[in-house]
Amino acid sequence: MNLDELIRNSIFANARVIAGSKGLKNEVQTVNIMDAPDIINYLKQKEFLLSNGYFIKQSPDTLSKLIANMHAMGCSGLAVKSRRFALAISPEDLAVADRLGFPLIELSEVPFSLGEILQQSTSFILDNKNHELHYALTVHKQFSGLIMHGNGLAKILDFLSSLIASPVILLGSRLEMMERSSSLGQNALPLVTAIAAALASIPPFQTTLSLCLVDASFPECRELALHPIQTYRHEGYLVTFPLLQKEDRLTALTIEQAANVIGLEMMKRQAVKERSRRFKNEFFADLIDGYFVTEQEVLHRGKKYGLRPRTPMLLIAVRLDIASESLRATGLNSREESLQSERDIYYETLKRHFYALRLQFTMFTRNDAFGLLVQLDDTELDETELRGALEKISSDLLSQSLIGVSIGIGSPVTDPLDIGLSFKEALKALQTGYSMGKSRFVLSHRRNDVGYLLRLLPSEELRRFFDETFKGFDMLEERERQELLRTLKAYYDNHCHLIDTAKTLFVHRNTVLYRLDKCEKIVNLHLKDATESLRIRLALAIEPILKGKSV
């Protein structure tokens, strides 16, 4: 209990607070009696000390030092029977207690001994603790009962709101609003946006945090408290508004029990979701690996995932550019819980962004990749439009969620047994992009692509062809060599137009002419000759393949 609650009991009926009244809200956990000169060495935090002041009589300047030391240690207060030994408490001692806000209490008028005061005070604290425990147990049963009877999080928040007389908001781990109490009204979404903006630069925390919103649009909700919800991972926050509630221990216990029950409910939901997701991943793994024999079997088991007969489909494979290597190397065996939690966050974030496709899709995971089975509903696929939409999603993921992804697209299929083939094509498209040194790319699988044909050749032959084509470039410094190769690539990408090449490279037209002339002299080939230009184009296409294989 707080010190002011303790001294309101009858045992302290004639006690007087003579200094440091600002600290009467200090919490008291234990009460002690001591009069040794080295008393400070035996005290502990949140302890209320009773004394007759004998040791102070021998050294009058000791009291102010004791007050300062007890305050620094976090003690609750000091009560003294000063008349027992005619102890004079000086104005300087009182000034120190007032300055520190450390309660100094006079017990001379209390007709009980210090031993009796200690016994009664300890009894009050224990009774109060028993009351709190009983209250916490009762509230916990009430919250648990709501869950057991099938009521959702919204009912819990409404009940909590009625108990603490404050609106309540439940934020998820990404600071999105999961639920709110009905007492909040229509002001919820703008308020949540303001809270999320205020928390954007603050990492997840594990103790209650008080916050004041700068936005004046919410005068009644500017001051708020955020109570973390923790399970085996950070789940989010309960948001309450202390200005509208009694700030006492019972309120804190009520919020604490609500947070515990909400955490258990969210854990249960997560377990159900993970179980359902595991079944889905196992189904698609079996489908991709070719364990199904008949179309009817696939359609029967895949009906819940949106599979329908004679419906055009294509597979999209997504990999995280940064995290994919670590996930691929470690799997989920080491740091399993941490990696699974991280993957869940990525899964939900990707799924939310891919809703922008405005196509029906089912999402699953396969090793280090995320797969999307997209239903085309007999509509003709506009590949350019699809690539544009996927490129925008990739850009939004980077700018809004700081996630860099690369995307591979497989070929459309109508037979469910060919879904595995389309997904493998999407993975090959990803591998092709990575082997060319790209990141955050969108690439479709093309069986007749030049890069695909080049990769069928041995690396030694590709290296020999590249080195013979650009034999003279080895004599140049690396910076100049890369500059000339970049100029050649831009020249051919722009169909040998000098002005367009200059614009691409952000240089003058004459600079392009100078570089091309130098290239012709080095390689001893005519850049505009059809046969010789084909050789150079092939060599330029081989370079990223060689870089990818050397990594």
The tens digit of pLDDT for each residue in 332-347 reads 344 455 556 677 778 8
For residue 362, what is the enclosing H or E element? strand 360-366
How far apart, in whole angstroms, are the C-alpha atoms of residue 452 and residue 133?
A: 70
Averaged pLDDT for residues 517-527: 89
Query: What pLDDT was estimated at residue 130?
Result: 83
Strands 223-230 and 234-240, bridge-based pairing: antiparallel
How far apart, in whole angstroms, are the C-alpha atoms of residue 364 and residue 351?
A: 10
CB 218 within 8 A of CB 191: yes
Query: What pLDDT was estimated at residue 379?
Result: 55
Which are the contacts of 451, defined by CB distance < 8 A and separation ≥ 6?
432, 436, 541, 545
Geometric angle at alpha carbon 27, from 7 and 209, rounded to 5°? 145
Averaged pLDDT for residues 110-130: 87
Which of 45-59, 102-116, 535-549 is modeled with the greatest confidence? Answer: 102-116
Q: Exposed (0-12), middle (13-18) or buried (19+): which is 422, by Cβ within 10 Å?
A: buried
Query: What pLDDT was estimated at residue 309?
Result: 86
How far apart, in whole angstroms, are the C-alpha atoms of residue 332 and residue 330?
A: 6
Question: Residue 238: is its pLDDT beyond 60?
Answer: yes
* Nearest residue to 88 (alpha-carbon basis) of 18, 162, 40: 18
C-alpha to C-alpha distances, 285 to 304, 347, 431, nearest whole angstrom:
16, 17, 19
Averaged pLDDT for residues 228-234: 83
CB 227 within 8 A of CB 257: no
Query: What pLDDT was estimated at residue 373?
Result: 92
* Nearest residue to 537 (alpha-carbon basis) of 482, 494, 477: 494
Determine how many CB atoms are found less than 10 A away from the CB of residue 399.
9
Give the least confident one: 73-82, 183-192, 350-359.
183-192
Question: Residue 326: is its pLDDT beyond 60?
Answer: no
Determine how many CB atoms are found less than 10 A away from the CB of residue 264.
15
* Nearest residue to 230 (alpha-carbon basis) of 193, 210, 260, 185: 260
For the residues of 78-95, what is the DSSP string, one character each? EEE-GGGGT----HHHHH
Question: Residue 312: is its pLDDT beyond 80?
Answer: yes
Query: What pLDDT was estimated at residue 243?
Result: 58
How far apart, in whole angstroms, are the C-alpha atoms of residue 405 and residue 397?
A: 8
How far apart, in whole angstroms, are the C-alpha atoms of residue 296 and residue 293?
A: 9
At 478, which amino acid appears? E
Query: What pLDDT was estimated at residue 364?
Result: 94
Q: pLDDT tens digits for 357-407?
A: 888 899 999 988 999 999 886 555 677 788 888 999 999 888 887 889 999
Indicate the pLDDT class of residue 329, thresholds 50, 70 and 90: very low
Question: Residue 551: is its pLDDT beyond 80?
Answer: no
Q: pLDDT tens digits for 279-311?
A: 999 999 999 988 988 889 999 998 888 888 888
Q: Exposed (0-12), middle (13-18) or buried (19+): which is 503, by Cβ within 10 Å?
A: middle
Helix (H, G, I), strand (E, B) or coil at 300: helix
* Nearest residue to 76 (alpha-carbon basis) of 57, 100, 103, 97: 103
Query: What pLDDT was estimated at residue 381?
Result: 61
Question: Per DSSP, what are the bridge partners of residue 87?
Answer: none
Which are the contacts of 158, defined by CB distance < 8 A and separation ≥ 6?
181, 182, 183
Q: Kindly state the percentage of the chain with pLDDT values over 70.
A: 90
Mean pLDDT taken over the chain: 84
Query: What pLDDT was estimated at residue 423?
Result: 93
Geometric angle at alpha carbon 524, from 539 and 521, rounded to 5°? 110
Which residue do the tokens 């909400």 mark? 262
Give the least confident one: 4-13, 65-74, 116-125, 208-217.
208-217
Question: Residue 104: is its pLDDT beyond 50?
Answer: yes
Strands 360-366 and 369-375, bridge-based pairing: antiparallel
C-alpha to C-alpha distances, 517 to 207, 209, 473, 485, 522, nearest whole angstrom:
68, 67, 14, 13, 9
CB 48 within 8 A of CB 30: yes
Q: pLDDT tens digits for 435-462?
A: 777 888 998 886 556 765 776 678 788 8
Query: What pLDDT was estimated at residue 401?
Result: 79
Query: What pLDDT was estimated at residue 190?
Result: 83
For residue 153, what is the enclosing H or E element? helix 153-164
* Nearest residue to 515 (alpha-carbon basis) of 498, 531, 500: 498
* Nearest residue to 342 (alpha-carbon basis) of 233, 231, 497: 233
Question: Residue 318: is its pLDDT beyond 90?
Answer: yes
Q: Model's pTM, two decimal places?
A: 0.53
How far apart, in whole angstroms, are the C-alpha atoms of residue 469 and residue 467?
A: 5
Q: Domains of the chain (ranges plus CATH)?
A: 3-122 (3.40.1390.20), 151-270 (3.30.450.40), 292-447 (3.30.70.270), 453-550 (1.10.10.2840)
**What percent of the chain is helix, strand and coil (3-state, nearest 5)?**
60, 15, 30
* Nearest residue to 345 (alpha-carbon basis) of 235, 200, 194, 226: 235
Q: What phi and psi values does residue 342 have, to the nearest 5 degrees? A: -65, -40
Give the least confident one: 214-228, 243-257, 518-532.
243-257
Averaged pLDDT for residues 213-223: 74
Question: Residue 217: is its pLDDT beyond 80?
Answer: no
CB 198 within 8 A of CB 181: no
Question: Residue 244: is its pLDDT beyond 50?
Answer: no
Query: What pLDDT was estimated at residue 372?
Result: 93
* Nearest residue to 49 (alpha-carbon basis) of 93, 112, 102: 102
How far apart, in whole angstroms, are the C-alpha atoms of residue 264 and residue 147?
A: 10
| Dihedral in degrees, nearest 10, Cα atoms 129, 131, 133, 135 | -150
Query: What pLDDT was estimated at residue 455?
Result: 67
